[in-house]
Structure 1
Amino acid sequence: MILEVTILDVKPNMTVEFETAFKTASAIISSRPGYISHELQRCIETTNRYILLVRWHSLEDHTVGFRQSPDYQKWRSLLHHFYDPFPTVEHYELIV
């Protein structure tokens, strides 16, 4: 299993719209092959910051299967305009 970790800084005063759009986007990502689960959490100290955790069966399920799919273009159009700066995505594997 691979854990995708992304810190999302949403433009100020757009958090309500972002959360609404994310609910729609959740259906897109959860339908992808190799998807296991995801969660979105809001930061308490910085209220326009979120962390997105997505579990995939393999790295390629995310980087190729999702990112190179037409579904990713839908995801992108729903969410990418909310971010400033654009987030960095990292992938982790369980050690212990």
Structure 2
Amino acid sequence: MILELADIRIHPGQQAAFDEAIQRGVREVISKAKGFQGYKVNKGIESPERYVLQIFWETLENHTIDFRQSPAFADWRAIVGPFFAGPPTVEHFSLLAKSA
């Protein structure tokens, strides 16, 4: 399993609308993508315009090719992109260890 970690900054004062948009975007678009295995969204306490989106994929290619090179990526960005204060920082991770 691959973890996609997206560090997202949005425009100030848009938190309530973005809270709805990011959940809708995952539910309606990303969750239907090949290899999607789940997600988590965390929002900043000290930095309320900062969000950390974690998406779990079966393979790296499920995100980088199957999703990002599909029309669904444009659908996702149409939902959440207008809130972005700048491009999100996106990185991928493989699991090293976890608790029981």
Residue aligning to 1:9: 9
Residue aligning to 1:33: 34
The size of the alignment, in residue pairs, is 96
Give % identity.
Answer: 35
Instruction: Confirm or deny that 1:46 pairs with 2:47.
Output: yes
Unaligned runs of 5+ residues in structure 1 are none
TM superposition score normalised by structure 1: 0.94
Residue aligning to 2:67: 66
Measured on the aligned residues, the alpha-carbon RMSD in Å equals 0.9
TM superposition score normalised by structure 2: 0.91
Runs of 4+ deviating beyond 3 Å: none
Q: SS in structure 2 opposite 1:63?
A: helix
